[in-house]
Structure 1
Amino acid sequence: MNLPRPVGEQLRDWRRRRRLTQFDLADLAGMSTRHLSFIETGRSVPSRALLLRLAERLEVPLRERNALLTAAGWAPMYRERPLDDPAMRQARAAIEAVLAGHEPYPALAVDRHWHLLSANRAVMPLLAGVTERLLQPPVNVLRLSLHPEGAAPRIANLGEWRAHLLHRLRQQADATGDAALAELHAELAAYPHDGDDGHAPEPGPTVAVPLRLRTPAGELSFISTTTVFGTPMDITLAELAIESFFPADAATAAALRALLGD
């Protein structure tokens, strides 16, 4: 049985991850630097209220806030329910409404490790040519995108899109300290690919990194947005994101409407 690391060590790691000095964090939390130092070295145990305030200032994810509370001898505060739990009915309905309402454009919901939770009808027509084994649950959408047997061979700007995804994943892994995300980054970065590894966007009047995908309907170009739940109190909702793709040009919009018969 692995015992939790002392709460002070965990707080120190989060502070360093956020690139804050003890003075910075103490100022943000409205406490003395001396008190914070005592907590980090184990000479003092924070109250529940202070620990939650520190976690908020450090933007610690809800899952890890529970770990901090447990290490300090307090009961976990945040529950983790599956999406099919009756208590999650309203949240699930909201997710499905957002996905359906985005049609005829693609949208999908993913968890913290980029596993597919749900998708609208516009997603599947874009996966033609993807090997069947990558579509077996749990489907990882980043693996699906960059794997040589996934969508990668059909991404016209693979180097640009690959660099964008890897940079985003690295930022997420660094911000959360999640070892699974770091492992996923290493796996994806090791995939062979023919795209240019340059990080600079292609010339043109673009405002975001596009995804340019070759399909039977022609080359489709997308820009994407990410939607998260505001002020979630459940770990599942806190770690869930909806990725919505919008047409970057009129031809893509027309093709997507035709694909769904709209």
Structure 2
Amino acid sequence: MTTVAPDTGVGPLLRGWREQRRMSQLELALRADSSARHISFVETGRSRPSEEMVLRLAEHLDVPVRERNALLVMAGYAPRFAETPLQDPAMGAVREAVERLLQGYEPYPALVVDATYTVLAANRGIAVLLDGVPEHLLAPPLNAMRLTLHPEGLAPRILNLPEWRADLLAQMERQIALLRSSRLRALYDEVAAYPAPEPPPVGPGGTETGVPSPALPLRIMHDGRVLSFLSSIATFNTPMDVTVAELAIETFLPADRETAAHLHALMP
């Protein structure tokens, strides 16, 4: 796994991002309307980039918004992007849009997490899946990874836990490569060390369709039934705030008619 290590000056940081993106100096220069010579001078510290150049390079390198602030500070400029708490009055439109989306998706599960997978909002479909999870895991702040992979959480009910666990850990590794977050690394180390319980047997009330899925499904036991979901993650386009940039809305689409019918029966 590649990470961008902190160094003195903005040049080594930009070089780290460029190498992580597997982009040559010439390719970056062409995209940013610059020259390979200038990019080389910036990376070696022989030239101090302007604030506009730092932002332009960060955009073409797809640097996360939080890290763009870090690049600006290392180059001697003030941070450009605010980090407004989600509960701030200025974020009212964002909150309302998210709440409307979550409610509109019911009865299917949907939730919103931040960059460290802390659950910021969820709908009643998620509450259905959390039936039976012990109180100590439901105490705020809720963490989606901990709830899913903890041996007392959802993990014992997930039929395809090895595949789902591997996918979640790989997702976290990609996030760690993008965000130099000690909290995210600590969470990864914690959940990766959880023992993986054996999947539950499918009793007479369960269903196994055997139909191949177009994507890795989450197959979980609930109330004696096998529920199957396909998950999708959405983010905001062109965010201008660190908080908004790090919001992720995960929705779980029923992968079969039985799952959809069961959820509609629970929440007509």
TM-score normalized by the length of structure 1: 0.91
CA distance, structure 2, for counterparts of residue 92 and residue 115 of structure 1: 16
Match of 2:196 in 1: 193
Output the amino acid matched with 1:157.
N
Match of 1:247 in 2: 254
| Structure 1 position 90 matched with structure 2 position 93 | yes
Match of 2:177 in 1: 174
CA distance, structure 2, for counterparts of residue 246 and residue 37 of structure 1: 47
Output the amino acid matched with 2:189.
A
Question: CA contact under 8 A between 1:217 and 1:255: conserved in structure 2?
Answer: no
Tell me by how many angstroms 1:172 deviates: 2.0
CA distance, structure 2, for counterparts of residue 117 and residue 96 of structure 1: 11
Match of 2:204 in 1: none
Tell me by how many angstroms 1:217 deviates: 5.2
Match of 1:149 among 122, 147, 152: 152
CA distance, structure 1, for counterparts of residue 91 and residue 70 of structure 2: 23
**Worse overlay, 69-78 or 104-113:** 69-78
Tell me by how many angstroms 1:164 deviates: 1.3
1:1-150 aligned at under 5 Å gives the runs: 5-150=8-153
**Structure 2: runs of 5 or more not aligned:** 1-5, 200-209
Question: CA contact under 8 A between 1:17 and 1:175: conserved in structure 2?
Answer: no
**Structure 1: runs of 5 or more not aligned:** 197-202
| Structure 1 position 215 matched with structure 2 position 247 | no
CA distance, structure 2, for counterparts of residue 4 and residue 159 of structure 1: 38
Match of 1:259 among 258, 263, 266: 266
Secondary structure in structure 1 of the residue aligned to 2:125: coil
Question: CA contact under 8 A between 1:157 and 1:195: conserved in structure 2?
Answer: no
Secondary structure in structure 2 of the residue aligned to 1:123: helix
Q: What do residues 29-87 of structure 1 show as CA deviations (whole Å, max 9, x unaligned)? A: 22112211111111111011111110001101111111111111212110111111111
CA distance, structure 1, for counterparts of residue 59 and residue 68 of structure 2: 9
Question: CA contact under 8 A between 2:151 and 2:197: conserved in structure 1?
Answer: no
Tell me by how many angstroms 1:195 deviates: 5.2
CA distance, structure 2, for counterparts of residue 105 and residue 47 of structure 1: 48
Secondary structure in structure 2 of the residue aligned to 1:160: helix
Question: CA contact under 8 A between 2:102 and 2:123: conserved in structure 1?
Answer: yes
CA distance, structure 1, for counterparts of residue 189 and residue 76 of structure 2: 35
Match of 1:199 in 2: none
CA distance, structure 2, for counterparts of residue 175 and residue 207 of structure 1: 28
CA distance, structure 1, for counterparts of residue 63 and residue 247 of structure 2: 16
CA distance, structure 1, for counterparts of residue 175 and residue 27 of structure 2: 23
Secondary structure in structure 1 of the residue aligned to 2:80: coil
Output the amino acid matched with 1:167.
A
